[in-house]
Amino acid sequence: MSISTGDHLPDATLVTLTDKGPAPVTIKEKTAGRKVVIFGLPGAYTGVCSTAHVPSFIRTKAQFDEKGVDEIICVSVNDPFVMGAWSESTGAGAAGLTFLGDPVSEFTKALGLEFSAPPVGLIDRSKRYAMLVEDGVVKALNVEENAGVCDISAGEGLLDSM
């Protein structure tokens, strides 16, 4: 069963790349007492993820800041090294977005938002989504029907849902 508006996020451990190497980060610590946006996507360096989804949150970051959002977090089923390099290459880190790896799909599966497409090498990847979370509770959730589309899960789509 998939996560829904009004649900508490499941706790899971993601991984970030720090100047000292990979470090664990729990969803609970990232969301407790905070207003955050979490957006998930099928994979780092993939087409729509790189050309539409990440840029939409870079473009709309100031609008989320104005709405009191403390942090915008991108989650993908990738290792922290890939996520760190992708954050740098897209300019997302410099724009103030946080990239967290979900290397074994723990968080993605706990949300019920995983999918697999073996012919293209995507196994247990994340559906494309965006959510607003306040103190660990999902306040808005936009999940795309097709992973190749980035409309309601884009930054602008989530802003329209707030």
Residues identified as active-site: 49
Quick one: DSSP state of residue 51? I
Rounded CA separation 12/28 (Å):
8
Residues sharing a CB contact under 8 Å with residue 129, sequence separation 6 or more, in sequence order: 39, 40, 113, 141, 142, 143, 144, 153
Place of tokens 């100047």: 19
Rounded CA separation 130/144 (Å):
9
Rounded CA separation 65/114 (Å):
29
